[in-house]
Amino acid sequence: MSAKKVSNLKAKQNSDILAARYVIEREIEGLKALFDSLDGDFSKAVDLIISLDGRLVLSGMGKSGHIARKVASTLASTGTPALFVHPGEASHGDLGMVTTKDAVVLFSNSGETKELSDIISYCRRFSIPMIAVVRKKTSTLVNSADIAFILPDIEEASPTGAPTTSTTMMLAWGDALAIALLKRRGFGKDDFHVFHPGGKLGSGLVKVEQLMKTGKKMPLVMENAFMSEAIIEMSAKSLGCTGVVNKSGRLLGVITDGDLRRNMGKNLINLKVLDVMTKNPLTISSGSLAVEAVNLMNKKSITSLFVVDKNKLMGIIHIHDLLRLGVA
């Protein structure tokens, strides 16, 4: 490539990067202004939503509508029953999805979005609480809402005025609302998993007790056993190890494939398991997350963990169980 072409390419790259940085700077400016603008009305909205017997209905048109749909999804997955209603469809029957037990959140840049007029009228007619997220302080939507959040007047990052900074602020406001509600409800990881049984999020929240092998599926030998019994048990259960327990079922130690290799040539099959086992083995509790088991196995370079709760042997979890889940 000639020096001139290289120079032109670099100039284009620099121009692109400058344009991208300008957009990000404007949006950061908007987020900082949004941060500073939050006040008691935000907490009032949380109070209102927490007190609902119904759901939170979100709507908006165009880019604001896309934001409303995403926020509704985030709310629904974090403990707040929510749904998105398209304003166009609302005018043709979907207003029936909104009940007097619900509240409505409307997103609009101008506050004069004509497609929202039927939803606004419906809410006023049936005294349905309405929250507005809008940029224009003097607008029909602000005047109609019970609670209005005026987004900071930061210029759009686009030279054409296309929604960029404003929609970023709307999205951040929606995420902030969802997490504030989550914390107010005490919604935790266990609750989150109920709504996310599939995918990486769901698998990461599965607990050890849901995957572990129990009962006769556990490789176990008694403390007075010989290594010949331990080898047979390890071969039968195919987990690369066996636990050593006493009469009360307490886990005393573990014998792994590595222990077998280290003791070859010592008349291995006639040795007692107590002479070969690793005492006080690493264990995990049944209530631990599957991802914690993976991290522990990776850290210690092992493939199995016995599951113990308050000195009581509960089961065993193997790396293959975690691989099948998609966690490892």
Does residue 123 register a pLDDT over 60? yes
Q: From residue 251, how far is each of 132, 221, 272, 320 by CA, in Å? A: 60, 10, 16, 22
What is the Cα–Cα distance from 296 to 286, expressed in whole angstroms? 14
**CATH number for domain 3-187, candidates 3.20.20.60, 3.40.980.10, 3.30.1360.40, 3.40.50.10490:** 3.40.50.10490
Confidence of residue 10 (pLDDT cuts 50, 70, 90): confident
- Contacts of residue 284, defined as CB under 8 A and 6 or more positions apart, other chains included, come to 208, 292, 293, 296, 305, 306, 307, 308, 317
| CATH architecture of residue range(s) 208-325 | Roll (3.10)
Per-residue pLDDT, 164: 95
Does residue 48 register a pLDDT over 80? yes
Q: How many CB atoms lie within 10 A of CB 314?
A: 21
Q: Give per-residue pLDDT as tens, 221-273.
A: 999 999 999 999 999 999 999 999 999 999 999 999 988 988 887 788 889 99
Domain ranges across the chain: 3-187, 208-325
User: Is 176 within 8 Å of 75 (Cβ atoms)?
Assistant: no
Averaged confidence pLDDT in the chain: 90
Does residue 1 register a pLDDT over 90? no
Per-residue pLDDT, 186: 87
- Torsion, Cα 146 152 153 157, to 10 degrees, reads -120
What is the Cα–Cα distance from 54 to 113, expressed in whole angstroms? 26
**Residue of 137, 49, 140 whose CA lies nearest to 101:** 49
Q: From residue 103, how far is each of 74, 120, 123, 217 by CA, in Å? A: 17, 12, 9, 52
Q: Give per-residue pLDDT as tens, 64-118.
A: 999 999 999 999 888 899 999 999 999 999 999 999 999 999 999 999 999 999 9
Q: Give per-residue pLDDT as tens, 124-164.
A: 999 999 999 999 888 999 999 999 999 999 999 999 989 99
